[in-house]
Chains A and B, each alone.
Chain A
Amino acid sequence: MELLGLYNYWVFAVLLMVGFYAVIAKTNMIKKLLGLSIFQGAVFLLYITMDKVEGGTAPIIQKGVDAVYSNPLPQVLILTAIVVGISTTALGLALVVRIFEAYGTIEEDETQRLDLEE
């Protein structure tokens, strides 16, 4: 049971590296972007895992109720980070679209080859 309390962190580690693998090993740029968003999701999971307090509830205070509240700070950080994340992913996607229009491919090794041939 004691070790189960670390399961979230292990999933974080695995997700982080699955995403990282896509970024470094895949040549397709869309795949790289998806890998980046998995990586990003892993970091979100790490932060939100830290906010949990045993027996706690969401930090919305009800007067007169004696409850334990989970930590609001990591939630605020990640809430804004999610929206920033989608905006930056969209920026990357726009770059991929322009690269395709310029090179006719979105495979990284092919764009590099085309660059060398010039």
Chain B
Amino acid sequence: MTIVFGIFLLTLLVVVAIGIVRAENLFTAVMLTGIFSLLMAANFFVLDAADVALTEAAVGAGISTVLLLGGLALVPGRERSRERLHRLALAVVALTTLMVVYATFEKPRLGDPDAPVHQHVAPWYLEMTPELVDIPNVVTAVLGTFRGYDTLGEVIVVFTAGLGVLFLLGLPGVIGERNVDDLAVGRSYLGHHLVPQVVGTLLIPFILLFALYVQFHGEYGPGGGFQAGAIFAAGMVLHSLIAGEKESLMVISPRMLVLLMAGGALLFGGVGILTMLLGGNFLDYNVLAENPVAGQQWGILIIELGVGLSVTGVLLAIYHAFAARSR
């Protein structure tokens, strides 16, 4: 049954992808991208990746659609006239697809427990996590401690990309000449629609609470800083859509957003420096407490907080950079 469901979802994914490429109206294409992400999240869930599904649903279907719409508000919403199918490109693409499909016949079948990918470090992670870190969610353990360097690198990349957007578009009150006071009062996308306004206002506190739950429950269930950051940012974006751009920037000021961006990444790196000062290696949390296992748990809790703060700051700052430019 699961396999039929999986095949159905995957086929839909292809249909939606072709729809995105063919749609002449860019608004349609962006909305289809949201559906694409949601289908992708469902697929991830079928494939046992609960954490990834949560991330894709929050980031791909939520934040990314809003950001793309924010960008679309600043550029023309239609493609020029319908173009002919590009013959050469089509030939290249068809040939490459056939080659990749041909290559898959050598791949291990879906779910094969003897596949090479399951023989390397993964069994060690699954076996040693209860002993060394003692938290149930192995994904969080690998993310936070076994591959902590990698995660720090990713946070820095997210921070850098956010910084790039701010330098390109400016953020009122921090980068560029405009101030928060220059923004028009009470201009919002959803302000004139009664139903979204009432429902949204009711939902915002619960979304923010859920974000905190995902943040601090990430060791026990699916969740962690990346997901929590995206959900928290989504809640604040909803606030901005309802209350207005200027009003939202007064709740979390632009300066605060930049501080969150940098502070989260610094907190993560700071834990690494602290462990070095305490006599361990960089990001070796064992030295943070008397008991190495407790040290690991503290380390993961703090760096996940750093990740959450940084992701919230970056995503919100990017949203405001787009939204504030259009008015």
Taking CB atoms, residues of chain A closer than 8 Å to B85 are 25
Asked if A4 and B122 sit within 8 Å, CB to CB, the answer is no
Given the known inter-chain contacts A34-B20, A82-B59, A83-B158, please indicate yes or no for A93 contacting B110, CB distance below 8 A: no
Cβ contacts under 8 Å, B222 to chain A: 58, 60
Q: Which of B45-70 contact A (CB under 8 A)?
A: 47-52, 55-56, 59-60, 63-64, 67-68
Smallest Cβ-Cβ distance to A90: which chain B residue: B318
Q: Which of A30-67 contact B (CB under 8 A)?
A: 30-31, 34-35, 37-38, 41, 44-45, 48-63
Partner of A20, one of B74, B96, B162: B96
Collect the chain B residues with CB atoms within 8 Å of residue A35's CB. 20-21
Scoring A residues 93 to 105 as 1 if CB is less than 8 Å from chain B, else 0, what string do you get?
1111110100001
- Would you call A83 and B59 a contact (CB within 8 A)? yes
Is A75 close to B, CB under 8 A?
yes
Q: Which residue of B lies closest to A69 (CB)?
A: B126
Interface residues of A, count at CB 8 A: 84
Q: Does B143 count as interface, using CB distance less than 8 angstroms?
A: yes
Contacts of B51 in A (CB 8 A): 58, 75, 79
Give the dominant DSSP class at B's interface.
helix
Contacts of B100 in A (CB 8 A): 9, 12-13, 16-17
Q: Give bound CA distance, A27 to B44, whole Å.
A: 32
- Report the interface size for chain B: residues with CB under 8 A from the other chain: 103
A51 touching B96, Cβ below 8 Å: no
Query: Chain A residues with Cβ under 8 A from B68's Cβ?
Result: 30, 34, 89, 93
Residue A2 CB within 8 A of the other chain: yes
Distance, CA A19 to CA B79, complexed state (A): 17
* B48 with A70: CB separation less than 8 A: yes
Interface string of B17-28 (1 = CB under 8 A from A): 110110000100
* Residue B125 at the chain A interface, CB threshold 8 Å: yes
Are A83 and B71 within 8 A (Cβ)? no
Q: Which residues of A contact B126 (CB under 8 A)?
A: 59, 61, 69, 72
C-alpha gap A59/B52 in the complex (Å): 12
Q: Are the CB atoms of B71 and A93 closer together than 8 Å?
A: yes
Min CB distance A108 to B, Å, is 11
A89 touches B110 (CB 8 A): no
* Nearest B-chain residue to A62, judged by Cβ: B136
Q: Which of B18, B63, B150, B162 contacts A18 (CB 8 A)?
A: B18
Residues in B with CB closer than 8 Å to A38 are: 17, 20-21, 36
Which residues does chain A contribute within 8 Å of B321, judged by CB atoms?
Answer: 94
Decide: B29 and A10 in contact? CB cutoff 8 A.
no
Residue with the highest number of chain A CB atoms closer than 10 Å, among B30, B40, B226: B40
- Determine the distance from Cα of A70 to Cα of B222 in the docked complex, in whole angstroms: 14
Given the contacts A19-B17, A27-B83, A76-B139, A52 and B47 also touching, CB distance less than 8 Å: yes
In the complex, the answer to whether B112 meets A54 with C-beta atoms within 8 Å is yes
List residues of B whose CB falls within 8 A of some A CB. Answer: 3, 6-7, 10-11, 13-14, 17-18, 20-21, 26, 29-30, 33, 36-37, 40, 43-44, 47-52, 55-56, 59-60, 63-64, 67-68, 71-72, 74-76, 79-80, 83, 85-86, 89-90, 92-94, 96-97, 100-101, 104-105, 107, 109-113, 115, 117-118, 121-122, 125-126, 129-130, 136-139, 141-143, 147, 150-151, 154, 157-158, 161-162, 164-165, 168-169, 220-222, 224, 226, 229-230, 311, 314-315, 318, 321-322, 325
Residues of A within 8 A of B (CB): 2, 4-22, 24-28, 30-31, 34-35, 37-38, 41, 44-45, 48-63, 68-91, 93-98, 100, 105-107
A selection of 7 A-B contacts at a CB cut-off of 8 Å is A2-B109, A30-B29, A44-B52, A48-B52, A53-B113, A73-B142, A90-B67
Closest 3 A/B residue pairs (Cβ): A5-B109, A87-B161, A54-B111
